[in-house]
Structure 1
């Protein structure tokens, strides 16, 4: 429809312009011919006189002539059709008021173009009938051509539209099929070109991302079910033991006070472990979605807060800080959780007489945070999987934890455009390093805290 309409408008405009040009050209040619014929007749009239100039009988076609005598009377050839009366302006030419005059008379059924030229004491006139048949024939031809062009344009436009939109139709059908079947493994054939190809590639990329997201959710659910099974089973068995002994009335005799205390402590520890695991699972399942706003913050203040919180959770841990004020743009709670997880991980491995060392400095355009412990370090075989969910090295099986702490660190660091790595420290333990993009501070600030004042005991 758009193609047909555009062609129709183009043909109409072309017809209007062409008609005007053709009419102007025909009129100009006719007027030039009238002037030429008038000059010939005027020259003859001046030689022979207006009253004696020969006027042959009208042959039935061709120009019409008339001689205007000084007294206002006229002479015309025998058999010539009557011309319109001599106009007032034509009379002025005959009286010498004007040299010549071109007039058009289109009011009658037969219109005339009349040219009046001063000759001797009067004037001569040459006229032609206005013939619109060439323009009418031209208009009829343009009408036929226009109709053919409109019909052809509509057919071509329909064909082009169907051909061009065929990939879109198939893309729509594929998208509807995916929405109906929930089958994210579908792949839309990459066809077409230009914007259509880009659209299909974008939708295929979106389906691939959705597949990865679904797979990640499935793996998370499977891993969570596996990790929750052991503590839940242990907790259930201990609780069932207490309930069974209490019902028999043999709780005091079967479990001495010391055993009961140890069992209750185990129950409390298992509840804490489950609570921690559930909290970490919830935090991990949220992915990058967070309602927390991004702020410009001093990472040194955040590390101090995380170290203080770690001390309150594990009283025996000793932490030394070597911090330089470095500003970053990030989510405070998420970054503090990541730093706290790094400290907790180092605290599990560092000997009681060796502190966890935390260093923060600016390095180029990055804020570099290092958490150093004096533990046994990480085996080379375990390094590639340190940040995997639920992964725990063989040597860490007996220690508390869910295997999610470092994976949460990885997720937070990735969300902030940073990088987390692991290496062996100079003390033989693990050195966990986090690089985050540094931000411009609100004002020049430089602070370095070292020594005993920086130890959190």
Structure 2
């Protein structure tokens, strides 16, 4: 790599100052008796060179200072036999070498810090570019989908003329498909943001039983369309209970919705999806089970990986993002999530969250 040989005023100014200071110290050294050691003044020059000029120049100045310091033992008079003078000169030489070494090490540290700061700044800029790109892409993908959904709604309302029952069903299917695409785009954006920025939670006391009820109410239409009904149980108890935890209600609602919708989509028609809430005092466990096709033992450890789609019929239906997002949310709440097969058939997805006392729930 070729160095830039163009004139640099700041470098020229530093070189002029260093040259002038060196001449002053040389004059003090050689115009006074050798017993007076002014070589320590070279330390300031060495520090200046290390901060303003190239490393090679700093080495050259250090060697020159050491040489001139020792030369004063011979010029203008020889003082090799004077032990105190010789000792002072050697100590001054050692001080100059140590000063140069420490200055060089400090310079290397500063350069390393500068490189790290530049890398961090570059990474921050790249992350900003990626965020803007993903946000823009998401907006560009959602806009035509939302426009198509509104157009389909207008067709359903007969704003463009009468439609037959068959056309009504087709329009409903198209609208549902477009809505699923919008949801997929939003999930993709959420997953990306969680991976890059982490999941930001608005924590408060949350009753998991209430969230389960809300999720069931929201997904009732989906269950009806697939002829699947949902049952909420409270472990061994037949009575409604409270399961308080500290969490973000909106994010935990997504966990319930993802797991229950996943179970509905894989449950056979005419079957039920079971939502079970249990507690051992220190933790709460939520289980969502269905009687659909099970999972192979090799697939279970990979179910919550991003974009994972196994070979079974169960995994082929999804995008591989819903369960990954669910795991992100549960882990952000200091919980764990897992999956297992049910006997004789079916799958069970469950997660465990820390419990809080009812007294804390009212604070």
Instruction: State the TM-score, normalized to the length of structure 2.
Output: 0.55
Deviation at 1:269, TM superposition (A): 2.6
Aligned to 2:340, what secondary structure does the other structure show?
strand
Q: Given that residues 325 and 361 in structure 1 are in contact (C-alpha distance below 8 angstroms), is that contact kept between their aligned partners in structure 2?
A: no
The answer (yes or no) to whether the contact 1:298–1:328 under 8 Å persists in 2 is yes
Q: 1:264 to 1:309 in 2, by over 3 A?
A: closer
Contact 1:420–1:433 (8 Å) recurs in 2? yes
Cα deviation per residue 1:364-407 (whole Å; 9 max; x = unaligned)?
Answer: 632211111111112233223211233334414774x5332211
Whether the 8 Å CA contact 2:199–2:332 is kept in 1: the answer is no
| From 295, 313, 323, the counterpart of 2:204 | 295
How far off its partner does 1:341 sit? 0.6
Pairwise CA distance, 1:411: 0.7
Q: Distance in 2 between matches of 1:330 and 1:289?
A: 15
Q: CA 1:301 to 1:258, structure 2 compared with 1: closer, same or farther past 3 Å?
A: closer
Q: Distance in 1 between matches of 2:204 and 2:330?
A: 15
Match of residue 395 from structure 1: 313
The total of aligned residue pairs comes to 255
Shift of 1:165: 1.9
Residue 363 to residue 397, structure 1, CA distance change in 2 (3 Å): closer
- In structure 2, what is the Cα distance between the partners aligned to 1:441 and 1:164? 59
CA contact (8 A) 1:370 1:431 kept: yes
Question: How far is the alpha carbon of 1:353 from its aligned partner?
Answer: 3.0
Whole-Å separation in 1 of the counterparts to 2:219 and 2:116: 50
Q: Rate the CA distance shift 1:257–1:349 in 2: closer, same or farther, 3 A.
A: same
**What is the aligned partner in structure 2 of residue 319 from structure 1?**
230
Matched residue, 1:159: 100
> Structure 1: which 5+ residue stretches go unaligned?
5-143, 185-206, 243-251, 446-457
The aligned residue for residue 354 of structure 1 is 271
Instruction: Identify which of 302, 309, 320 aligns with 2:218.
Output: 309
Give the structure-1-normalised TM-score.
0.45
The 2-side partners of 1:167 and 1:303 are apart by 59
Gaps of 5+ in 2: 1-39, 41-84, 156-160, 235-240
Of the candidates 192, 206, 221, which is equivalent to residue 285 of structure 1?
A: 192
Residues 306-333 of structure 1 deviation map (CA, whole Å, 9 limit, x = unaligned)? 2222225543442222235332211111
**Distance in 1 separating the partners of 2:120 and 2:265:** 48
Q: CA RMSD in A?
A: 4.7
Structure 2 residue matching 1:282: 3-state secondary structure: helix
Q: Which structure's residues are more often strand, by fraction? A: 1
The structure with the largest helix share of the pair is: 2
Post-superposition CA distance 1:211-235 (Å, at most 9, x none): 9x89xx79x97xx99xx8xx98xx9
* C-alpha deviation, 1:439, in angstroms: 2.6
Give the superposition deviation at 1:424: 0.8
Q: Deviations over 1:145-169 (max 9, x none)?
A: xx98996797466335325424413
Q: Is the Cα contact below 8 Å between 2:294 and 2:345 reproduced in 1?
A: yes
